[in-house]
Structures are given as structure tokens and as C-alpha cells.
Amino acid sequence: MIRLRTGPVSSLPADAAVVVFSFTKERRPSGAFLFGSRLDKAFEIAKSDGFASRPAQVGVARSEGKPSRFFFVGLGSESEATVDGIRRGAAAAARRALSMGVTSLAFRPAMLGTAAAATQAVMEGVHLGTYRFTEFQSEPEPKAQLKNVYLISKDAGEQKQISAGARKGELFGGAVTFARDLINRPPSDTTPADFVKFAKAAIPKGVTLKVLAKKDIERLGMGALLGVNRGSHFPPYFLHFTYKPKGKSRRRIGICGKGITFDSGGLSLKPAGSMETMKYDMAGAASVLSLFTVLPTLNPAVEVHGFTPLTENMPGGNAVKPGDVLRTMRGRTIEVLNTDAEGRLVLADALSYASRQNLDEVLDIATLTGACVIALGTGIAGLLGTSAPLNERIKEAAAVAGEKVWELPLEKDYEPLLRSHVADIKNIGPVGQAGTILAALFMKTFVDSDLPWCHLDIASTGWTSSQTALSEVGATGVMIRTLLTYLTSYN
């Protein structure tokens, strides 16, 4: 529960600890007005124990009276400190507090940027840093949970900003943890039909959902989605979410999310080790759904449409074969040379469907290519698109959200590498050559030429095999905060 406090604090519960942020070479950390000499003394104790205010470093010092502990979080030098440093520092402090059994934390947000932005970062850090997925553990490891988060302002004017930032941080953080929960579920408990069930239960008032079953998909001629589905025991679905603002809409935006609920590779079977995390191949679809769980509350001044093609990619007896040709919703034919390049196939039909919705722009988010991991590593998402202004706006939103993207070129001279001798286009190019770029060039052909389009490849960032500053092992929910930042930037 979030609680707001103003001015010197004397009403915190006995088990609460105060978190304050500090810069290197700073004599008094932010929040000195709260406790005066008590805080100064605790700060000196923390420094004597090795706390040097390095970015995301956490120091702890006991103190007489209430609260009995102070947590100090480093931001580095004033010139290098960022709002994302607050986010990561809050996550580190919350983890440290929980490891010590502390269940109530009071934060004095460092005033970087606006008080609202700093507080939003604090709340996102707390959400993301303390996330755990234990639904399928019969006896999960006991671990303390934060019961109360206090946010301390200097005066009433600052408190208003802090309150707004806290609300936004709760919504952004909640959207990410919703997606993480969905992605982390076992694949046999998250089939396309299960995803539909979760979507129906999760969408709030203000969002409409159109569910297209297999017969509807056949009627629309989505042959690429149907082709990928052929090897699976479970039928495909296609979901169309719609959110409309309460006031006048400034823009109509479409977002497609790849929804392969499990990817075996099909007949182009993946190695066993590469399949172990392939339940996360629906991270794009889960991300799209998560947006719609909070959009009515955020009320951005744009109309948003979400599209999620849902299927497994399995090597069943009727599975699509290398060399098969699929006819898409757009009418273009695809020669399938590798059945493990299936994400671009289902997105071909999704982008074709989106192109018919009278949108001003369309984006997609997908765990698309292993080549993106090779190109950018595990900390940066790939970005490609047809509109320089749209690409720039997404990059700006990512910078605000503290998420890293890197733009790769849609190299026109590479287009001949996708020419097929038997169909309009083939689904892969030469092995080992510009795989991420060629996948985007493939999808571009299914978007109307006059419709601005941006593609986010999160294959490298949607899952982590080790704990990071903001994520436990498993699904990361990457780019959700970027997309929400972008959508709310029109307010």
C-alpha cells in the first residue's frame, strides 16, 4: 500500500526503514530535512562501512529511535545521475530490505527531473526489483514482502507531484508484472485458448475485445497463421483489442504482438536446449495485452488497437514442411524454407489485418530473431521501421523509460535476398547474413507502403537467464514501459 507523508516524519511504523538517495562527494543526502543530525550520523556510519554512493550501491546503517534503519542508495556523480539510476537504486534497496526482513520502506525520491518522474521511477523499481513468480511452487522459499511504501515530500506542492508519479509508477510496474506472470507460466497452461481466457478476464471497462476463432481466421484468408498452426493440436486465435480515449483522440495507433505460445521450431526442430525457454515466444502478445489492462486508467489521448495472432509451432503430422507455399491475408505467397522462422509468418497476417484498420501508424513487438541476440547482446532491443519520425519517438520513449534500443537499417539492397523462385517471397535469407534486418524487410512487405511502421525485436531482451538490476530469472516484460511512455506522451 502506498502512503504519502509530508515534512519531518515521526509517524512511521517501528519496522519501517527510510531510503534516501545520495551523490558521490555529497556531504548530506537528499532527505536531510527529515531527520537532521540522526540522518547525518547514519550517513557517516554507512560511509565508514564502505558506502561510496556508486550507482545502485546500497548502504545500511542502524539508528536509535524510529525508524531504526536508514538505507542509502548511490546515484554516482551529479553529472552522471539519471532517473533510471533512481529506478535501479530503488529496486536494489527494496531487494536488500526484503533480504533483511524489512516490510515497510519510506522513500525520499531524489529530485532528478521532476518529482513526478523521480517517484514514478521509485515505484517501478520497487515493483520490478521485488517481483517473484511462485504460482507453481508447492512450497515457495519464504521471503518477506513489502506491506507499505511511504513516499515523503518536502511540502504540499511537491506531494501533489509525488502522488501523480506514484500512481503512474504503480500502473507501469503493474503492467510489466502482469506480462511477466503470463509469460512465466508453463506452456501447456498457456495455450492459445488459455491466452484468450486470460485476456477476457484481464481487460477492464473501456477496452473491447474481438476474438477471432479458427473459422474466422480461415474466412479472412490468414494462410500464414493457419500454416504455422498446422502442426499443433490446439486451434489458433486472433485477438483484436480496442481502447478509445474519453476525450478527442489525437491519433489511431496499432500494436501487433507475436503470440507463439510455444515454439518447438516445427519440422525445422530446435535443439533441445534452445526449446527450454520457448514459452516466452508469446512475450509480444503478452506485452500487448498488458498495455490494455492499464490504458483506460492512464487515459492517453490516442485510440489504440492491439492485435495478437496466437498459435503453437509444433512438428505434428500435418505440420507445414520446408518448401511449402502459404497464401497470406494480403494475397502474397510465401515459400517457407525454415519452419522455425514462424514469427514473421503470423505477423505477416497480423500486419495485413492492421493495415485494414484505418490507422495512423502501426508497431509490432516480437521475440523474432536469434540474430538480434548476436548483433546486440542481451541488453538492447532491435528497432527497425519505415518512418524516421516514428522511430525517433519510440527511441525517445525508451530513453525516458530507461530501456535500451538500437536502430538497425532497413537496407533496400538486401531485399533481393528474399526473392523466391516459386512464390512472391521466401521467409529466410542466406544463413548467417543480416537475419534481423531480413526478417524486418520480410514483414515490411505486409504493411501498406503509406502506413508508418516500427518493429521492435525483443528476442535478445525478453528473457533473462540471470538476475538483472530490474528482473529475476525469466520474463523481463521489456518494452512495455517504453510503449506506455510513448502512448501517454500524447496527453
pLDDT tens, position by position, 279-288: 999 999 999 9
- Tell me the sheet residues that pair with 152: 5
pLDDT mean over 154-164: 88
Residue (of 133, 285, 298) closest to 204 by Cα position: 298
Sign of the four-CA dihedral 62, 64, 67, 68: positive
pLDDT category, 30, cuts 50, 70, 90?
low
Q: Are 312 and 194 in contact (CB under 8 A)?
A: no
Tell me: cis bond preceding 186? Omega within 30 of 0 counts: no
Phi-psi region of 160 (alpha: psi -120 to 50; beta: other; left: phi over 0): alpha
pLDDT over 70 for what percent of the chain? 95
Question: Is pLDDT above 90 for 14?
Answer: no
Q: Round the average pLDDT of the chain to a whole number and report it.
A: 93
Question: Is pLDDT above 60 for 172?
Answer: yes
Distance CA(308)–CA(321), nearest Å, equals: 24
pLDDT value of residue 11: 61
Chain centroid to CA 130? 16
pLDDT value of residue 10: 59
In 244-302, the DSSP E strands lie at 252-257, 259-263
The model's pTM: 0.96
pLDDT value of residue 40: 85
Active site residue 419: no
Q: Which of 3, 41, 132, 270 is catalytic?
A: 270
pLDDT value of residue 142: 65
What is residue 271's DSSP assignment? P
Question: Is pLDDT above 70 for 13?
Answer: no
Of 101-105, 175-179, 219-223, 375-379, least confident by mean pLDDT is 101-105
Active site residue 270: yes
What is residue 140's DSSP assignment? P
Q: Which of 185, 214, 344, 444 is catalytic?
A: 344
